[in-house]
Structure 1
Amino acid sequence: MAISRKYGRTYHYPFSPGTTSDDRIIVDYWKYVSAMKELVHTEKLDGENNCLSRLGVFARSHAAPTTSPWTEDLRRYWQLIKNDLGVLEVFVENLYAVHSIEYKNLDHHYYVFAVREGEHWLGWEETKFYAAMLDLPVVPEIKRMTPPHQQAVFESEVKQIVQGSGMLMPFDAASGVPVTMEGIVTRNAEGYAMEDFACNVFKYVRKGHVKTDVHWTRNWKRASLKNEGGKYVDNR
């Protein structure tokens, strides 16, 4: 039995080309997006979903705290802040280990993308507030906007955004060639109930973004930061 509840599955837009056989698509997404007062596009990053709560540091499964070597530094950080979390669960994209994409403009290894408080997902401004309190960055914010009146206009803009390289300078980890961003995540700027997650967060992922296989953990490497030796770099 899980110790805590894991992050919900984010549904793909129907025009997202990077779906796999086990991904879910939300065909009628527009009725939810168009009803939002404000939405936020953030850059989808190629890392591991980690959760920091008073109970430990969790990976995708919340059956038990993670003990992976690429979370060792994060678990040391958690020791410093665990007593301050209370009922908050802070979700971060862990970029410590290089996956399919290697980023050349990393200021940090851990980027907050969501905060849950009990049965409620916090709004984007509250999420940024708690990230700042914990001295952690948030995932790159691409754009905040009021949904346009036409669905076609929205989809066209999303497709245009994902043609860019993003803010962290992504490179194909295998070939070393510059690539476009992995995709974007769109969320309601306001908070919402935990049970309403699936109709408040959506994603677009480019095709062919996953290049790693089940054996990547055997030969993983630590991601370099652009300012090595800074305060966010471990001492190893």
Structure 2
Amino acid sequence: MNSKKYPRTYHLPWSPGATSDDKIAAFIDQAIGQPIIITEKLDGENTCLNQHGVFARSHAAPTQNPWSSYLWDIHTRIHYQLDELEVFGESLFAIHSITYTGLQQYFYVFGMRQGTVWLPWEEVVMYADLLDLPLAPVLFEGTVQNEAELKALIDGVLREPSEFESLELGIEVPKEGAVVRLATAFESDDFDQSVFKWVRANHVQTDEHWTRNWKRAPLEHEWIQQQLKKNNRT
């Protein structure tokens, strides 16, 4: 097996959540005047499904983490269709720093790689549909003409709550951030010039310690049931 883990994503220059350990993009020319996609940056575990198995950040060996066990059922269903296609998504089964109240499922696709090429967004959408996998929420699809326009756009969408905030519950759920990527295909060697992220200030960075007492994230219908039970007791 010859599969490389998901590359490090550089922060946009004005990303308030960048730390001293993060990489910040020196320039973002590729995102200006070209079709881009902005998706919600979800607070979970970056996970890859390919024909060989289910992988977390490391691709040295398939993951055996208990919070990833549900993904093996998905892998069993789709692996024979993948061939050289690698599906990358955010696994939200375990709660990290943000507790989502509007989840319908746990795995949301944000990119696909075939060999050394990251597929264009339209193909990501097509394959996700064929594989019956949901996509990370798209916040913007189009073109911006300068950095100031991109900054204003991201500032605007980040003022809104997470797309996975339940409309049935009065519980605020912030967005962790946003990811900007070229809508067109690009080579892995150009990843640092083709994908950028914005992370909110003071976002709690989860580390290995969260795994000691991890909890499953309730789906939206479970949140609603919990709220009904709570209301019935009062």
Q: Contact 2:10–2:192 at 8 Å: present in 1 too? A: yes
2:187 and 2:132 map into 1 onto residues whose CA distance is 26
1:226 CA drift (Å): 1.7
Among residues 182, 185, 193, which one is paired with 1:191 in the alignment?
185
* Residue of structure 2 equivalent to 1:231: none
**In structure 1, the residue corresponding to 2:189 is in which secondary structure?**
helix
Q: Contact 2:116–2:187 at 8 Å: present in 1 too? A: yes
For residues 196-223 of structure 1, what are the alpha-carbon distances to aligned partners after superposition, in whole Å with 9 as ceiling and x for unaligned? 1111110100011125443211111111
Matched, 1:32 2:30: yes
Matched, 1:206 2:200: yes
Give the aligned length.
219
* Residue of structure 2 equivalent to 1:64: 61
* Residue of structure 2 equivalent to 1:21: 20
* Residue of structure 1 equivalent to 2:102: 105
For residues 172-194 of structure 1, what are the alpha-carbon distances to aligned partners after superposition, in whole Å with 9 as ceiling and x for unaligned? xxxx9624211100010111112
**In structure 1, the residue corresponding to 2:111 is in which secondary structure?**
strand
Q: Contact 1:44–1:185 at 8 Å: present in 2 too? A: yes
Moved over 4 A (4+): none
2:220 and 2:23 map into 1 onto residues whose CA distance is 35
For residues 60-117 of structure 1, what are the alpha-carbon distances to aligned partners after superposition, in whole Å with 9 as ceiling and x for unaligned? 0111111000000101221222121100000010000010001111111000000001
Among residues 205, 213, 217, which one is paired with 1:219 in the alignment?
213
**In structure 2, the residue corresponding to 1:215 is in which secondary structure?**
helix
2:77 and 2:147 map into 1 onto residues whose CA distance is 46
Moved more, 42-51 or 161-170: 161-170
**In structure 1, the residue corresponding to 2:126 is in which secondary structure?**
helix
Among residues 88, 91, 104, which one is paired with 1:91 in the alignment?
88
Which amino acid counterpart does residue 187 of structure 1 have in structure 2?
R
Which amino acid counterpart does residue 10 of structure 1 have in structure 2?
T
Q: Contact 1:92–1:110 at 8 Å: present in 2 too? A: yes
Q: Contact 2:99–2:173 at 8 Å: present in 1 too? A: no
Q: In percent, how many aligned pairs have the same letter?
A: 47
CA RMSD of aligned residues (A): 1.8
* Residue of structure 1 equivalent to 2:137: 140
Matched, 1:182 2:138: no
**In structure 1, the residue corresponding to 2:156 is in which secondary structure?**
helix
Identify unmatched segments of 5+ residues in structure 1.
171-175, 229-236
* Residue of structure 2 equivalent to 1:42: 39
**In structure 2, the residue corresponding to 1:24 is in which secondary structure?**
coil
**In structure 2, the residue corresponding to 1:103 is in which secondary structure?**
coil
Identify unmatched segments of 5+ residues in structure 2.
223-234
Which amino acid counterpart does residue 5 of structure 1 have in structure 2?
K
Decide whether aligned partners of structure 1 residues 35 and 153 sit closer, same or farther in structure 2, where only a CA change above 3 A counts: closer
Q: Contact 1:14–1:27 at 8 Å: present in 2 too? A: yes
Q: Contact 2:162–2:173 at 8 Å: present in 1 too? A: no
Among residues 136, 150, 156, which one is paired with 1:154 in the alignment?
150
